[in-house]
Amino acid sequence: MNEILPNISIDNAIFGFANGELKILLIKRDKQPEFDRWSLPGGYVYCNENMDDASRRLLQELTGMSNLFLSRVDVFGDTDRYPDRRVISVLYCALVKPEQFELLAGAHAKKVKWFKVKGIKKLPFDHNEMIDTALSWLRDEIWRKPVLINLLPEKFPLNQMHDLFQTFLHETIDNRNFRKKVISQELVERLNEKTKGGKQRPAYLYRLKRK
């Protein structure tokens, strides 16, 4: 049996993005503390497990989701964030298309469900702060890291990526400046392939670089 580290935990802020609307994935807890309340999916780390592996394992055990590009966001360590003892939590996040996943509640999750981020209710511990932190991180890092990798196909024209940025950030972005920025930041790499079919001129295909 794997031994857990009782003072180190993982929390996953998984955002679902579809039709311009942002949602957050929550589980209904079946254990204390905060029994029967909705919270971010998370849990403890095993002694022989690294943090990234723990994040992926917990997400799959609790929600059935797997094969995500997860990013480490921040560490939450306030002395009173957990009621029974001092617990430090490492926050991970991802941005996905909800329709691509079949949710399956497991481990200590009674239910798993998507909720609209806008107007989200008070959650246990510091999970509301975690959601705000993860969302702010995504909006900053979208220009530096491949955080949209779960939303884009493996190969895409830059116009598709440009439209997704505008929708997610809720702002108009000059197309020429957008192209210069994502290329100069080495966020994408151009492939020796072009789009086929359609009424528009063929455009080069790109893919996100995993940094």
Give the total number of structural domains in the chain.
Answer: 2
Domain-embedded: residue 151: no
Q: What is the pLDDT of residues 72-82, one digit of tens each?
A: 999 999 998 88
Domain-embedded: residue 33: yes
Same domain, 128 and 164: no
CB 15 within 8 A of CB 138: yes
Same domain, 136 and 184: no
The type of residue at 37 is: R
User: Averaged over 24-51, what is the pLDDT?
Assistant: 95
Domain-embedded: residue 203: yes
Count of CB atoms within 10 A of residue 140's CB?
11
CA pair distance 140, 94, nearest whole angstrom: 14
For position 47, what pLDDT does the model report?
94
CA dihedral 131, 136, 137, 139 (to 10 degrees): 130
Domain-embedded: residue 172: yes
Same domain, 45 and 130: yes
Same domain, 25 and 76: yes
Same domain, 55 and 18: yes
For position 210, what pLDDT does the model report?
75
Provide the token pair at 30.
């079946």
Lowest mean pLDDT among 48-57, 68-77, 84-93, 190-199: 190-199
Q: What is the pLDDT of residues 155-171, one digit of tens each?
A: 999 999 999 999 889 89
% pLDDT > 90, the chain = 79
Distance, first Cα to last Cα, the chain: 34
Q: Sign of the CA dihedral 108, 110, 114, 115?
A: negative
- Report whether pLDDT(197) > 90: no
Cross-sheet strand order for the sheet of 156-157: 156-157, 204-208, 188-194
Same domain, 137 and 63: yes
Give me Rg for the CA atoms of the chain.
Answer: 19
The per-residue pLDDT of the chain, averaged, comes to 92
Q: What is the pLDDT of residues 200-210, one digit of tens each?
A: 788 899 999 87
Nearest to 42 by CA among 32, 24, 64, 57: 57
Domain-embedded: residue 150: no
Domain-embedded: residue 21: yes
Same domain, 73 and 36: yes
33-37, 67-71, 104-108, 128-132: range with highest mean pLDDT? 128-132
Same domain, 163 and 132: no
Q: What is the CATH number of the domain that holds 94?
A: 3.90.79.10
For position 51, what pLDDT does the model report?
96
Same domain, 55 and 85: yes
Q: What is the CATH number of the domain that holds 172?
A: 1.10.10.10
Same domain, 28 and 112: yes
% pLDDT > 70, the chain = 98
Domain-embedded: residue 180: yes
Domain-embedded: residue 146: no
Same domain, 101 and 171: no
Task: For residue 33, say if its preceding peptide bond is cis, omega within 30 degrees of 0.
Answer: yes
- Report whether pLDDT(211) > 80: no
- Report whether pLDDT(1) > 90: no
DSSP 41-90: SEEEEETT--HHHHHHHHHHHHH---S---EEEEEE--TTSSSSS--EEE
Same domain, 114 and 171: no
- What is the residue range of 187's domain? 156-208
Count of CB atoms within 10 A of residue 190's CB?
11
